[in-house]
Chains A and B, each alone.
Chain A
Amino acid sequence: MTVAVLLLIATLLPLLSFAILAFVGKRMGNPLAGIVGTFFISASFVCSLAAMIVWLSLDVAEGRAFGFGGQPILKTYDWLPGGLQIGIYVDSLTVVMFSMITLVAALVHVFSLGYMADDRRFPRFYTYLGLFSFSMLALVLSGTLLQLFIFWELVGLCSYLLIGFWYEKKTASNAAIKAFVTNRIGDVGFIIGLGLLFCHLGNATFPGIWGSLGNAGMAQSGQVLILPMVQGSAGAAELSGSLQKAEPQFTRFPHVTTTMLTLMGIALFCGAIGKSAQFPLHVWLPDAMEGPTPVSALIHAATMVAAGVYLVGRIFPILTPDAKLFIAIIGCVTMTIAALIAMAQTDIKRVLAYSTLSQLGLMILAMGIGSWVGGLFHLITHAFFKALLFLGAGNVIHAAHHEQELTEFGGLWRKIPYTAITFGVAVFAIAGVGVTVGDTMIGFAGYFSKDLILHHAGAFAWLATKEGGHTAYWLFFWLPTIVAYLTAFYMTRCWMLTFAGRPRNQKLYDRARETPVMYIPLAVLSVLSVIGGTALGARQMIESAAKETNNYFDPRLRPPAVANPTAKVAQPAHFAGFSTAWQNAGAYAHGDTSTIASDAYRLGERSLKYVSFAFVVGIGLGILVYSKGLTIPNALLRVPPLRWLNIWLYRAMYFDEMYAGVVVACTMALATVAAVVDRYVIDALVNLSARVVRRGAVLARLCDQFVLDRAVSATAEMVQEIGAAARAPQTGRIRTYVTALMVAVALSLAGAIIVVLSTTGR
């Protein structure tokens, strides 16, 4: 419980920072607002770190080895009556994510003190950063999918605000709108998936969903699953046990077909396609580099774009093999095209953006082939070195007075040596530099996570083909292998063009300088990029999170055919339960009972030999080609096919143009049709009705003029005449009054006499 409280505090501190800065940030002014923001996020990081320590020491208290994490914590509250709950869910993954996010965020806050020092909207920048940090942490802490979706949208908003931070620049505001709209397309899918899930399960918590649909990974197409709705499974007491204890209660929709589950998984994954910028919707991320570079480091490299991978990790147990295949294909395509495009980019931030896309694709691919641990482990290590790369690029850009073209740089290592060294460390980390000597692995952070994914990819491909799958399954191994070579090459290219060789722009070179506050975060991140693979224990924690997650699979719900993993299950298109296979496959523990699985494990390990020296080849080639600046590549690009290829890749495979040509043109055509309909049909109707009303108004005016007005003025005239008549006798002359009085008296007397005489008869 302490952990949950600490994490909650860590979540709310940035919100407090946001609130303070939103109200009084402007008055605080330039350095103070940043210092306040940095203080709060640092406090948040301290809380997360404390939570991690408490979490890890919980096992010791429970008699387990250090580093496996305590039991997951789920705390829910009724939000609205009728089963709508909100809550927090904490497992090892949450704790690791918290430490990573708050650390990167704190370092980016520090870095921005230098990078944004001259900006006139400096306090607002920190306000947005505070809101973003809060949303991202709350997203990770969410206990239900609906809650996750709320914060998912909130980080999208922050992303929009920060991409368009320099909104005076037309490109920046356009990029912000593009990012927002593209994300909406993905979110439509997310909402559909959420709706399907709601329809069947209500607003279930994550463990509740896993308990009900956890056997999806085993599902064969065409099967019908019985869905037990475990009421009140949210309680922490039941959590520690298993769902078998709870009495299953059936929902209104007692069963669901695997086709439906597949659709649901793909729909939910659409959200991740948008947020993590996967293949069809990847176009927003490179443009998002229009935002300030610290934002690119925090949001568009390390944390927010990784939320898609995190989402897939959370819904992983309910994904059917078909859905996972879809995910793997999308990840594979993204990874490959992004790596290719990154080779030809000349803007330093765009190179990094496409490299981010490629790495995100790799994580998604890992998820798709069932390497849960690999994908999320890579998420953590990637956050470190990609944040380092972006902050380093920020330093270069700051030093070069906002010049971003690689062709203008060169030889900068003499002017900004610390940046050059830390950037180099990050390049080594992303290239996966490392060796395995016997059983020990020595290397940079990226080596461990990338190796794990490739290992699983090899095992997966072997297992898939053995179970009767198509040979094309091997692409899931070979493409990431090729991309590993490409990554090492283009990152070396980036470093060589920036820091090595002779200065290509002497003026820029002469003015370049470093700011001390900005390379402290670089130093911290480069240490993490070196040791992040082993020393931090991230992998162990994620593995324990995977085990915790597996605890919620109800064995009774498994289809009998695959209850025994050694049994032959021949499904030609996709072999049975390839994700769940991993929990039995000895991917986490050697010496499993399953022979097929351990064979796969060993074969995957053996296939790693193809990728072990990718970094040597990639970095070597990079140094070779770019050793004399741009002379060798320019010579190479004179060969026509290479030149055409380069142009094609430089224009990002014409995706933007294609979307402009197809999507935008279609939209414009539709809009034109709508405009014509509007002008000639709707406008005509409106005009017609207006004319009718005008005619009616003329009639009404005549009626008014000749009937009503006459009546009114006649009344007035009548009153006036009566008044004049009554006024006439009022002469004001006393003699007239007396005379009138006497005449009246005389007349009434005469009348009275006549009446009396006539009645008396005389």
Chain B
Amino acid sequence: MELTLAISSSPIIGLNHYLVLAAFIFVCGLLSMMLKRNAIGILMGVELILNAANINLVAFNRFSYAYSPDHKPMLDGQVFAIFVIVLAAAEAAVALAIFLNYYNNFNTIDVERAQTLKG
């Protein structure tokens, strides 16, 4: 009841705003991944996509699952977001290690040059 009211009738910032923001960030990340030749840029694009997802998680948790049937607050989305941040940090560490090795071998971090595994 309150959920639908909150989504439809709120004059202030609602769920749609979050979703639009998340979509924008997602597309920014995606474009960065698709267009950048620099490996760091791609890594940044990945981070942007993860953050877009985080925004969605947090937003849906706030607007969809604010209250459980017994009116206690649920934090599933928030917890997931924290997990994703942690994983993103770990992933960034692994990716940076790969890039370092890559640089050592090819003397560049241009991903266009990484074609030795091509079929």
Contact = CB atoms under 8 A, between A and B. Distances in A.
Interface of A: 727, 730-735, 738-739, 742
Contacts of A731: 115, 118
A613 to B, nearest CB: 122
A734 B42 contact: yes
A734 B115 CA distance: 9
B112 interface: yes
Nearest to B42: A734
B23 interface: no
Nearest to B30: A742
B119 to A, nearest CB: 4
14 contacts: A727-B119, A730-B119, A731-B118, A732-B114, A732-B116, A732-B118, A734-B42, A734-B111, A735-B36, A735-B111, A735-B112, A738-B30, A738-B33, A738-B34
Interface string B7-50: 00000000000000000000000100111110000100000000
Interface in B78-119: 111-112, 114-119
A89 to B, nearest CB: 93
A742 B112 contact: no
Given A732-B117, A733-B111, 13 more contacts: A727-B119, A730-B119, A732-B114, A732-B119, A733-B112, A733-B115, A734-B42, A734-B111, A734-B114, A735-B33, A738-B30, A739-B34, A742-B30
Contacts of B118: 730-732
A411 to B, nearest CB: 110
A735 B114 contact: no
A731 B118 CA distance: 6
Contacts of A742: 30, 34
Contacts of B114: 732, 734
Nearest to B37: A735
A739 B116 CA distance: 20
B109 to A, nearest CB: 12
Nearest to B35: A735
Nearest to B118: A732
Contacts of B37: 735
Interface residues of B, number: 15
A694 B76 CA distance: 86
A28 to B, nearest CB: 78
Nearest to B39: A734
Which among A731, A733, A734 has the greatest number of chain B C-beta atoms within 10 A?
A734
A732 B30 CA distance: 18
B39 to A, nearest CB: 9
Contacts of A734: 42, 111, 114
Contacts of B116: 732
Which among B34, B37, B111, B118 has the greatest number of chain A C-beta atoms within 10 A?
B34
A731 B116 CA distance: 10
Nearest to B115: A732
- List the 9 shortest-distance A-B pairs measured between CB atoms, nearest first: A732-B118, A730-B119, A732-B115, A738-B33, A734-B111, A738-B34, A739-B34, A735-B34, A727-B119
A720 to B, nearest CB: 14
A735 B115 CA distance: 12
Nearest to B27: A742
Nearest to A734: B111
Contacts of A732: 114-119
B49 to A, nearest CB: 10
A727 B116 CA distance: 14
Contacts of B119: 727, 730, 732
A727 B119 CA distance: 6
Nearest to A735: B34
B36 to A, nearest CB: 8
A388 B36 CA distance: 122
Contacts of B34: 735, 738-739, 742
A732 B114 CA distance: 7
A734 B118 CA distance: 11
Contacts of B33: 735, 738
B94 to A, nearest CB: 16
Contacts of A735: 33-37, 111-112
B16 to A, nearest CB: 18
B18 to A, nearest CB: 20
Contacts of A738: 30, 33-34
A67 B52 CA distance: 135
Contacts of B36: 735
